[in-house]
Structure 1
Amino acid sequence: MAASPSRFQWQFDWKSVLAIVLILPILLTLGFWQLGRADDKAALLADFEQRRTLAPVAIGDVEGYENYLPVYAVGEFDPQQYWLLDNRISHGRFGYEIMAVFTLADGRKLLVNRGWLAGDPSRQILPRVEIPVGQVKISGELYRNSEKAFSLGVEQVADTWPRRQQWLDLDDLAAEFPALLPTTLRLAEDSIGAMEIERMVVNVAPAKHIGYAVQWFAMALALGLIFILRNSNLGDVLKRRKSKESKEQ
């Protein structure tokens, strides 16, 4: 006895089955990955908001070097040893991020992010960097980026100072500066030695990650609906049901 055309039936198409088996897990994985990124960014923002209200402590008393912890340090900027991190754009302007070596009173070294400085767009002339002279007290927040910088090749590092580079890696600097602390100090706007400061806690807000997740899940849902329509008579069943209801009215 033939099945009634008004009843729901499956008739699998191997191409669409293969497509949903391969693509659907990817779409769902990307969606959940974006939700995880949203949670991570929300935690970072919560950490930042919590620690920024704390009173600054002497960096010599710090043990864990937690990101965004307000600290102050007493020492001297090295007049020669500093880096110009290349291709840092601020409000459409070309410039550099200035990273300086700061020697603490106990002899240890601290890498200090002084902020942004405008540069020559032709990159022919390095900008003149003012260096505070003598012992000074600086303040800001601790920060160490846990993400590795992306590069298409090995960067050639000059031996002379100042050094123009794309990025810095604290682990790589440990050999050259054995007494270097395992963190950096990002100067506060009102600190001695600060340049143009524009801090960004997260590059993508949690809400945007959630929006991306919704898009991936929507694509997964659309793929699932297409699979059902191509492998069943659901479309015909719905049409017949709607036609029957119209006739009965």
Structure 2
Amino acid sequence: MTAPKSSQQHRDQAVDTGNAERCSSAMDGKPAPRDASVAFIRNWPVTLLSLCFLPLLLSLGNWQLNRAAEKQQIQNQLDARLSGQPIRLSGEAPEAGALQIYAPVRLLGFYTDEYFLLDNRTRNGRVGYEVLQVFETGSGDTPKARWLINRGWLPAGSHRSELPEVRYPLAAKVITGFLYPARIEGQGVTPPHSLIQSPQELSTRQLALSQPAWQIRLSADSDTAFTTDWHLITTSPQKHTGYAVQWFAMATALLLLWLLTATNLRQILREKWFKKTSKET
């Protein structure tokens, strides 16, 4: 009859000992082994690699946003300048500072038979040519002036030997457009109606232009213009913004990948949820 009492005493001592350890741990301010906190980072190589690439991706996104802001500012300046009052160009020398890039202009005169085909120009993926033609202003007592006009784009034929036919009015016309750099620097003689790779191949002596540093690109509403569709800005602000979104998306994906593969976030959240549900029950 004494054996059960001894067994009961041992069980009571075992229970008392466990409780005493928990109480002493609580008194010392240290969590019990089961309640020990889990380290947040468990994969340091992946963490260090993420720390190297995350700032790079964020900086690239910010750079693209800054580029978008710069391009938008340039676009606003171009729109303001192109919407201004056109400068009437004649044989008289223009005022100082009047000839600026993208400045709108208006001319009264006629086309000469001196035109050239600027090769390897594309529109919507199609290869063609831009037509550069001399336009002469002034008549009678008005001083004459000669300008190089870019009339726009014509599609190429099925064979390189087939050049497009360039039509132009013989009567006097009023044309509108805007100034664009030409930088005519050639010294030789280029036969009219021939192919050129750049306006720089043309000769100032041959064409006798009043302003060889400039060409005039026709606006779309000019009745003598071909396909214009001028791309004044190579990359639009919207495209830069799209690039920025892509970089930020990659940074977000990298951050999520790091949280899932290099940290114990899921385990920590699961333990917190388990403790919360245990207290509620």
- Same fold per superposition (TM over 0.5): yes
- 1:1-249 maps to which residues of 2 (within 5 A)? 6-11=37-42, 13-14=44-45, 16-18=47-49, 20-21=51-52, 23-59=53-89, 60-61=94-95, 63=97, 65-74=99-108, 77-90=111-124, 94-102=127-135, 110-133=147-170, 137-144=174-181, 160-165=191-196, 168=198, 172=200, 176-177=203-204, 180-191=211-222, 193-202=224-233, 204-249=235-280
Larger radius of gyration: 2
Q: Which secondary structure state, in structure 1, belongs to the residue aligned with residue 40 of structure 2?
A: coil
Q: Which residue of 1 aligns with 2:16?
A: none
Aligned to 1:61, what secondary structure does the other structure show? coil
AA partner of residue 258 (structure 2) = F
Confirm or deny: 8 A CA contact 2:136 2:145 kept in the other structure.
Answer: yes
SS of aligned partner of 1:88: strand
CA positional deviation for 1:212 = 2.2
Q: Tell me if the contact between 2:117 and 2:193 (Cα under 8 Å) persists in the aligned partners.
A: yes
Structure 1 unaligned residues grouped into runs of 5+: 146-157
2 CA distance for matches of 1:114 and 1:5? 79
Give 3-state SS (helix, strand or coil) of 2:176's partner: strand
Q: 1:26 to 1:182 in 2, by over 3 A?
A: farther
Q: What is the rounded CA distance, in whole Å, between the counterparts of 2:65 and 2:239 in structure 1?
A: 10
Flag the 1:27–1:232 CA change in 2: closer, same or farther, 3 A.
same
Larger RCO, structures 1/2 (Cα 8 Å, 6+ apart): 1
TM-score, structure 2 as length reference: 0.64
- For the residue of structure 2 that corresponds to 1:86, the secondary structure is strand
Does the residue aligned with 2:195 lie in a helix, a strand or coil? strand
**C-alpha displacement at 1:120, in angstroms?**
0.8
Cα offset, 1:127, TM superposition: 0.5
Corresponding residue SS for 1:140: strand
Q: Deviations over 1:109-168 (max 9, x none)?
A: 6442201223313333000112444765432122359xxxxxxxxxxxx954434356x3
Q: Identify unmatched segments of 5+ residues in structure 2.
A: 1-29, 183-188
Distance in 2 of aligned mates of 1:62 and 1:193: 29
CA distance in 2, matches of 1:96, 1:33: 36
1:97 maps to a residue whose letter is: E
The Cα of 1:186 is off from its aligned counterpart by: 1.5
Deviation at 1:241, TM superposition (A): 1.9
Equivalents in 1 of 2:196, 2:277: separation in Å? 72
Q: CA RMSD in A?
A: 3.7
Deviation at 1:36, TM superposition (A): 2.3
Name the aligned partner's letter for residue 58 of structure 1: R
The structure with more helix, counted as a fraction of residues: 2
1:93: how far off? 5.4
Q: Provide the aligned length of Structure 1 versus Structure 2.
A: 231
